[in-house]
A = this chain, B = another copy of it.
Amino acid sequence: MTIAIDAMGGDLFPKNPVLGAIKAVNEKNISVILVGDEPAIKKELDGLRFNSQKVEIVHTTQIVDMDEPVASALRSKRNSSMRVCYNLHKSGDAEGVVSAGNSGAMLAIGRFVLKTIPGIDRPCISALLPSLKSNKVLLVDAGANMDCTPEHLLQFAILGDVYMENIHSVKEPRIGLLNVGAEEGKGDELSKGAYDLIKSSSLNFLGNIEGKEFFNGDIDIVVTDGFAGNVLLKSVQGAANFVSNALKQEIKKSLLAKIGAVLMMPAFKGLKKRTNYAEFGGAPLLGLKGNGIVCHGSSNPEALLFGINFAEWAAQAKLVERMEEKILEYNDILIKKQA
């Protein structure tokens, strides 16, 4: 299994992508193609121990910047490390692509090079979040698609369903529609339309779900458009940061609390482990005709390793084929609605 790694993606490149890739090479049955500036990559590799048969470098000169507009990345950077990674996947030299770079560009270039699965209008970004129970909860779309139709939301639900079943071994994943209330008929026009459409499908649809129930663990997939999904994802980050920082501010006010905080370290560490961004930071792009994983820009080598694992699992599970099969079951309902 060979994965193409964008060595020039993320806040700390090529260091973190290279270290993550070497971790994968040393710990897993994975070969990597490191794509980017060859001298810089070689400098990072210098002194590391690994099986050189499993590491290839493909030299490129262009880099997609983190905040570069998607159109510019797509049109004027045809030799970017990201683009070349996808080319290697398309040609069959690699079975997946991992980047901690610009997520919008990752999606757009992936769509341009690989195309989407037939029946899928728009690929989406997925995000996995922890819950109070043992399961993890998948959010689709976590931020790729604005101004969606009910059909798009059904497509996200199907993609999420296949992903959770094949990658996380969840049988008949429980699907909820993000909404402002639990009752049928709630929400905006998009929600009402999507409710009816997903309900008419054979997916295991449990109805509307509110943001406050997201973490209860009573659901496996939360479906929404990319605007609301992104608001949810970032609000949750904001709230978690607030609680953490406000608690630190309060701890500073009391000596007893400071001592208490030291004693509570195991619990804080346990909580941190459960919300480990390295594990949750890899976001598979679902709906592409291929395996593209985008990691958070601040990803450390461990987070990149998780991303590479995701790509490997997706390739092994033949996720794209599974999605192609599943979407066929919905051709009638999707085509009828689009007509």
Residues of chain A touching chain B, judged by Cβ–Cβ distance below 8 Å, are 67, 130-132, 143, 146-147, 178, 180, 183, 187-189, 191, 210-215, 224-228, 230-247, 249-251, 253-254, 256-257, 259-268, 270-271, 274-275
Cβ of B250 and Cβ of A267 under 8 Å apart? Answer: yes
- Indicate if the CB atoms of A180 and B226 lie closer than 8 Å: yes
Known: A214-B238, A246-B275, A260-B265. 7 other contacts (CB 8 A): A146-B180, A210-B234, A211-B232, A211-B237, A232-B235, A243-B243, A260-B260
- A187: chain B residues at CB < 8 Å are 146, 227
State how many angstroms separate the Cβ of A179 from the closest Cβ of chain B: 8
Cα of A146 to Cα of B256 in the assembled complex, Å: 48
Query: Would B239 and A266 count as touching, CB distance under 8 A?
Result: no
Instruction: Kindly state the separation between the CA atoms of A180 and B148 in the bound complex, as whole angstroms.
Output: 15
Q: In the complex, what residues of B have CB within 8 A of residue A244's CB?
A: 243
A231 touches B234 (CB 8 A): no
Closest to A230 in B: B180
Q: Give Cα distance in the complex from A81 to B264, angstroms.
A: 49
* Residue on B nearest A142 in the bound complex, by CB: B180
* A130 and B242 alpha carbons, distance in the complex (Å): 9
Question: Would you call A264 and B267 a contact (CB within 8 A)?
Answer: no
Contacting residues, chain B, for A247 (C-beta < 8 A): 267-268, 271
How many whole Å from A183's CB to the nearest CB in chain B?
A: 7
Q: Which chain B residues lie closer than 8 Å to A261 at the CB level?
A: 260, 264, 267
Residue of A211, A225, A239, A266 contacting most chain B CB atoms (<10 Å): A239
Q: Which of A130, A189, A236 has the most CB of B within 10 A?
A: A236
| Contact present for A188 and B227 (CB under 8 Å) | yes
Contact (Cβ within 8 A) B241 A215: yes
Of all A-B residue pairs in the complex, the 10 with the closest CB atoms, nearest first, are: A260-B263, A211-B234, A260-B264, A211-B235, A250-B270, A146-B188, A215-B242, A250-B267, A257-B267, A239-B239
In the complex, the answer to whether A260 meets B267 with C-beta atoms within 8 Å is: yes
A176 CB to nearest chain B CB (Å)? 12
- Knowing A180-B226, A232-B231, A239-B235, the reply to whether A257 touches B266 (Cβ < 8 A) is yes
